[in-house]
Chain A
Amino acid sequence: MNRMADMRREFKPADYKSSVKPVWCPGCGDHSVLLMFQRALAELALPPEQVAIVSGIGCSSRIPAYTNCYGFHGVHGRSLPLATGLKVARPDLTVIVASGDGDGFSIGGNHFLHACRRNIDVTYIVMDNRIYGMTKGQPSPTTEPDWETDIAPEGTGVTPFHPLVIALASGANFIARGFSGDLAGCTRLIVEAVRWPGFSFVQILSPCVTFRADQQKAWREQVRKAVVPETDDPARAARRLMTDDGFNTGILYRGKREAYRQQPFGDCDPSFLEAEFEV
């Protein structure tokens, strides 16, 4: 490929769109997130073949096939290790991981901790609608304790998980929250997250119009731009996040940790290793 020609390539959001029609319900927040992906990647001017979108299982995890990037739609909860292996093998690629609150915080919860801790240079975008949509409306780790569903008729009675606090405590290097209804603002968050080295976590509040019909309107009223400027001080970020009501949007923490291993793989003749076996 001609490198100069490549550098001259210009990208429009449509260049990142595939012809596959999303399975999402009309009005689902994830449609907007898909649009944000396309706009953010165009702004970053990344050739689509240099981007990999990795996901698990759930409504949000369907996103890779709707883009024109390389994609891996894996098993439930394991998108982060999939992305970790890919990024270690191919540090030259831009790796974006897409997940939901069930996939990312419940079945994939352990990987979330360790991906933050490892600080691998990927961007983790969790579309949080506080519900399992694809299995038709069960509570997730971020669902309110009194939300009544068939599987928990009186609500779970369990305190929701606070993903941003967990991310900070586990070592994520960039933490932000956005709202799917804020196309421009949330696109900016994605751009910033991809640009920032290390593990970048963006929670996108992305309402479910089918199982949480009141969510979209309520969230639109509740979300607000965080009034305090972003910080690189984990202690300040922790205080802010611990008192946060879940609706402050923006970049809430930007750390300075060095990203995990970034050397590209190389080739060699391994026969020198035989010396240690020789008697």
Chain B
Amino acid sequence: MITSGEAVSLSIALTGSGGAGVMTAGQLLLEAATRCGLYGLMTRSTGPQIRGGEAAAMVRLSPKVVQSPGDRFDVLLALDFDNVQRFAAELPLDSSGLIIADPAAGDIPAFLRASGARVAQVPMAKLAKSVSGGRSAMIALGVLARLIGLPEQAVSDAVAASIGRRKPEALAASEEALQLGSAHAPDVTIPRLATPASKPQGRWSISGNEATGYGAIRGGVKFVGGYPITPATEILEWMAGALPQCGGALVQAEDELASINMVMGASFGGAPALTATAGPGLSLMIESLGLAVASETPIVVVDVMRSGPSTGIATKSEQSDLNIAVYGLHGDAPHVVTAPLSISDCLLTAQWSVHLAESLQTPVIVLSDQSIGQARAVIDRPKEISFGTRRLTPTEPIDNYARYAATESGVSPMSIPGQRCGQYTADGLTHNARGVPSSQAQDHVEQLHKRQHKLDAFDFSTHWAEIDGQGELALLTWGSSSEPLREAIEIARSQGINVKLIALRLISPPQPALLARALEGVRRVLVIEQSHGAQFWRYLRAYYDLPAEVVSIACPGPLPIRPGEVLAHIQKGASA
């Protein structure tokens, strides 16, 4: 007997060679569990190969919303062991775990045996062969559904919805494989999840990249120019389908230099515009981002961060583009940098970022990352928010127009081509209030000041950070690292340790007054981030007054920050 009572969550990893179907099986498992009223998360880990490499689908199920991986896996189901050692560090298993293996796959690799996890053998490949058109991954799904205790109907429905009724043969083969898997599930127990009482209402299954795309469209984005890059491509692909239905368009550019300039062109023409990329693409866009600052052209650039520098690990996550996003531009180039705090928060952050770009007439860089972008979560339908986004344009008839006139807010009316007497030239050259190129000190300083002032004068307080709880100990983080911290804090609280969470959604411009207020009563701060260079901590040190006791916990990617490690830091921090 492994457990008594009900588990908070159940984590299952499916591994196999690329193309073996583990991603599909993981997705279907999540969908079936969702149909039973559970929440869940699926993250994916792959090698660089398109086929034949290694693939792992990591599914975490829970009666509550879960948006980050847990500490360990309850079940590892391996269709084969071909490249599984490459996931050794990503698949924490212990003696209470269960390995489900296929005897045909050969010996269980030493690192898995060393975990002490129980082993159950199921001849999945052989069973699949006994079904015409049967696939091992479907046998595996049948096995897992049985062990978890998901009703067969829920699994069948999920499969039918995925395969579609128009392919009766494929559907029949899958059904048969599922039943065979279910019948051959090993006679072992795994932790049981509380069964939700009611049928789920109004839930969404959404990936971070989809949420970013939809958030951007909600914010009013009409034009996307983009160049394919892992792990951001899904934003472009999703928006390519959605934009034409919303009266907009996506253009696949020839490179990132083109994407960012297309986006600026569209925005100049009056269409809120966005591009999505990853670190290498952002590097290419940096020069033009300076132009967007100087010409005060609103644009949104989403960087779905991956492990860097250079090509790095394209398929795995890291929060290491903070420096380039904040400091990458040459000259004094104030702009906005934001970061979604979770998969579901990609929606709000993208929408808010469009609002900021349009309101402030400046580029906004959104730092999402692979761990949330390519992960899918089942969430409660997000609240609808309207920011009332509207670009400030001159009222007609326009008289004696000065595009870059100094105003109280620093934001000046931006005419849109077609507006009579609103003609001006947007320029990267230093210009005067009318937009006329100038190399005079006074114009230079006036415009530098104007562009800084519009950010300084803006009220970011509504969404700059998520702050939760009270305590002398605070965890200070940003972006996607927030979710594992949130989970660790919840456990700490159940142990009687009070911890405050401060998760920044707005990275730049810094908000020292807001953070000072959030830190009132805090004696010790743990700064937690996923970068080797402690980029966030260094950034905080440059702009913020922090309490005397600050501990920097900087974990490089690509491994996720897990709640257990954070909890250990909390316990240490609270007792010291």
Contact = CB atoms under 8 A, between A and B. Distances in A.
Interface of A: 1, 20, 47-50, 52-54, 62, 64-65, 68-75, 77-78, 80-90, 92-93, 110-111, 113-114, 261, 263, 265-268, 270, 272-274, 277-279
A261 to B, nearest CB: 6
Q: Point out which of A53, A80, A266, A270 has the most chain B C-beta atoms below 10 A from its C-beta.
A: A270
Nearest to A53: B425
Contacts of B425: 53, 64-65, 70-73
19 contacts: A49-B422, A50-B417, A65-B436, A70-B415, A71-B423, A72-B265, A75-B291, A81-B225, A85-B265, A89-B222, A89-B223, A90-B418, A110-B255, A114-B253, A265-B248, A265-B249, A273-B214, A273-B217, A278-B203
Contacts of B34: 279
A48 B421 CA distance: 9
B206 A89 contact: no
B420 A85 contact: no
B508 to A, nearest CB: 22
B225 A85 contact: yes
Given A71-B425, A278-B203, A267 B258 contact: no
Contacts of A65: 425, 427, 435-437
B291 A49 contact: no
A90 B417 contact: yes
B59 to A, nearest CB: 15
A85 B262 CA distance: 4
Contacts of B429: 73
A270 B258 CA distance: 27
Given A71-B425, A75-B428, A270 B266 contact: no
Contacts of B265: 54, 72, 81-87, 89
B123 interface: no
B525 interface: no
Interface stretch (B135-143, B269-277, B466-474, B552-560): B269-277
A62 B429 CA distance: 10
A111 B288 CA distance: 15
A72 B251 contact: no
A89 B221 CA distance: 11
A84 to B, nearest CB: 5
Nearest to A114: B254
Interface in B395-434: 396, 415, 417-429
Interface string B219-259: 00011010000000000000000100111110101110111
Given A49-B420, A90-B417, A278-B203, A73 B426 contact: yes
Count chain B CB atoms within 10 A of each CB in A85, A110, A114 and give the residue with the most.
A85
Nearest to A72: B426
3 closest A-B pairs by CB: A266-B247, A85-B265, A71-B425
B216 to A, nearest CB: 10
A85 B261 contact: yes
B259 A86 contact: no
A54 B295 CA distance: 13
A18 B427 CA distance: 15
Given A75-B290, A82-B268, A274-B381, 4 more contacts: A70-B422, A86-B417, A88-B262, A92-B418
B369 to A, nearest CB: 21
Contacts, number: 189
Contacts of B267: 85, 89
Contact of B258 (A88, A114, A268): A114
B218 interface: yes
B258 A89 contact: no
B278 to A, nearest CB: 19
B358 to A, nearest CB: 14
A98 B318 CA distance: 41
Contact of B418 (A20, A50, A110, A263): A50
Contact of B269 (A20, A86, A266): A86
B339 interface: no
A229 B258 CA distance: 36
B200 interface: yes
B378 interface: yes
Contacts of B535: none
Contacts of B246: 266, 268, 270, 273
A274 B264 CA distance: 28
Given A73-B429, A74-B428, A270-B214, A81 B204 contact: no
B427 A93 contact: no
A71 B435 CA distance: 10
A93 B417 CA distance: 8
Given A73-B429, A75-B288, A90 B247 contact: no
B428 A270 contact: no
B237 to A, nearest CB: 13
A277 to B, nearest CB: 4
A14 to B, nearest CB: 14
Contact of B35 (A74, A90, A265, A279): A279
A22 to B, nearest CB: 11
A9 B423 CA distance: 17
Contact of A279 (B245, B378, B418): B378
B145 interface: no
Given A85-B269, A88-B249, A268-B246, A52 B214 contact: no
A85 to B, nearest CB: 3
A238 to B, nearest CB: 23
Interface string B1-38: 00000000000000000000000000000010011000
A99 to B, nearest CB: 13
A83 B225 CA distance: 12
A83 B426 CA distance: 13
Contacts of A261: 249
Nearest to A48: B423
Contacts of A272: 245
A272 B218 CA distance: 11
Interface string B482-507: 00000000000000000000000000
Nearest to B200: A279
B161 to A, nearest CB: 10
B222 A75 contact: no
Most buried by B among A263, A267, A273: A273
B241 to A, nearest CB: 9
A49 B245 contact: no
B283 interface: no
A89 B203 CA distance: 35
A93 B418 contact: yes
Given A49-B421, A84-B262, A279-B204, A89 B426 contact: no
B346 interface: no
B423 A49 contact: yes
Contacts of A265: 222-223, 247-249, 271
A70 B263 contact: no
A170 to B, nearest CB: 11
Contact of B427 (A73, A77, A110): A73
Contact of B253 (A20, A74, A81): A81
B560 to A, nearest CB: 24
